[in-house]
Structures are given as C-alpha cells and as structure tokens.
Amino acid sequence: MSSVVEQPADRPAAPARLRRGPAAVLQGVALALGLVLMIGGFALIAVDYRPYKIPTASMHPTLQAGDTVLARKVGGGTIGRGDVVVFRDQAWGGELMVKRVVAVGGDTVATTSAGSDQRLTVNGQPVDEPYLAAQGRQGESFSVTVPQGRLFLLGDNRVGSLDSRTHLEVDGGTVPAAEVEARVEATLQPFGRMGLLERTTAFDSFPGPKAGSPGPLEPAAYASVAGAALIVVTSVVGGVAGLARRFRRGRST
C-alpha cells in the first residue's frame, strides 16, 4: 500500500517566478535601440571615412593649416569638378595633399587676364569661384588640356599653393584620377570649425562630372549622438524610478 506524505502546514510556499513590469521592458528596449544607433553610426563613419591633417594654408579659407578633416574613401572615377580631394602623386613628391579639382579629363583649363584681375576658365567658360581666399592675380597664365583619366587641381589660396600650376612640365600638371584616396566632407577639429564642408555650385552649369553629393556622414553622426543620448536618458530615468520605488517601500514599512 502506498503512503501519502503530507507537507507541514508551516512550510513556506515556493516563490513565484519574478516578472518584469512594462516599465522595465520599455527601458530594456530603449537601451538596446540606443546601443544599435550609437554603435551603428560610429561603425559606418569608421568604415567609410578617414581623418587627415591639413599641413599648410594652401586651401585657406576653406581649410586652414592644422585642421583635421574627415574624408570619405572614393574611387577616382566618381570625382567631379569642385570636389576637394586627398591624393598622392609620386610626380609631386609622393606626399598626401589636399586640393580642389577644377578640371577633369578632356577639359581645357586656363587663366585669362583682364587688367589686374585673373579668371579661371574651363573649356573657355569663366568660373565664378566664391571659395577663393582673394580675387586677383593667381600666378602665371597657363592653358592645359587635361588627358583622359587625369585631373587638374588647384588650392583655394591661389597665391600660396603648390598645385598643378607648379608642375606643368610633367603631364601638364595633371594627376591620375586613380591616385585620389578620398573626398573631404567635413572639418573635425578644431572644435570651433567643426562642420560639414559646403558643396560648391561653381561648376554646376558645366556639362560633365560635378562635385559629389555628401555621403552618409551627417545621418551617421546624428544616429550615433542620438543613440548615446537615448542610453544616458534611459539610464537616468531608470535610476530615478528605482530610487523612487525604494523610497516608497521604505515609507510604507
């Protein structure tokens, strides 16, 4: 015969399984979303962009000596007139340089004088260049037809830039488009100059490749900042709510 063993009446019941309340679930979702935004935005910037230091004032006032810029890795075939690019050419000494593309393969680029003024022309059409440090003399006049697959580059500080004009004896001062490493899209440092580089419209009326549109830098940066803010706010709200619950329990005992 089987026997039944009864539990003592004073034995405590098994504890109920703890369940997370709606507030705790919402906090967890917010933290997870914040992490995805912060890490995803930062990862996109880290993969697509590289920082570069500007060593000279040749791109003043667009970029100043000592600035740290962020440049997006691109192929030379995507570069258009007006882009500010990072490149390296052995004929120019093999150093990394930052200049503005003013002509592409097939263009005839020149300067024309009108009294003391001097204008850049591309295929005979004058270019209005609002980004220049100063109007006026830009050095000796020249005229170059750019071979296909090459670029003609100038600094925005025309009176203080060693650029295509100083290398005219080698391939007309042009640089292979394949030597372009990146397109500059923003200034990262110093803090007071932080911001996106303004895309020029100086060449938009010309047929052919124009300055490229901004990449994902701005939305990626906003996503990363928003994710970090969401994590901080959620953590603070959760901490305050936890303290409030403990305070209420303390007062009820």
Backbone angles phi, psi at 52, to 5 degrees: -135, 145
Annotated active-site residue 99? The verdict is yes
From the list 2, 3, 53, 99, the catalytic residue is: 99
- In angstroms, the Cα distances linking 179 to 85, 87, 100 are 10, 6, 14
CA atoms of 245 and 220, how far apart (whole Å) = 37
From the list 58, 161, 164, 224, the catalytic residue is: 58
CA atoms of 119 and 89, how far apart (whole Å) = 27
Output the six-digit token pair for 179.
């030597």
CB 180 within 8 Å of CB 87 = yes
Amino acid at the residue 232: V
CA-CA-CA-CA dihedral for 158, 164, 168, 169, to nearest 10: 130
CB 106 within 8 Å of CB 207 = no
Opening angle at CA 37, ends 35 and 40, nearest 5: 95
In the structure, how many helices (H) and strands (E) does the chain have?
Answer: 2, 12
**DSSP 8-state code for residue 240:** H
> Which residue blocks in 8-102 are alpha helix, DSSP H?
22-48
Annotated active-site residue 116? The verdict is no
Active-site residues: which are they?
A: 58, 99
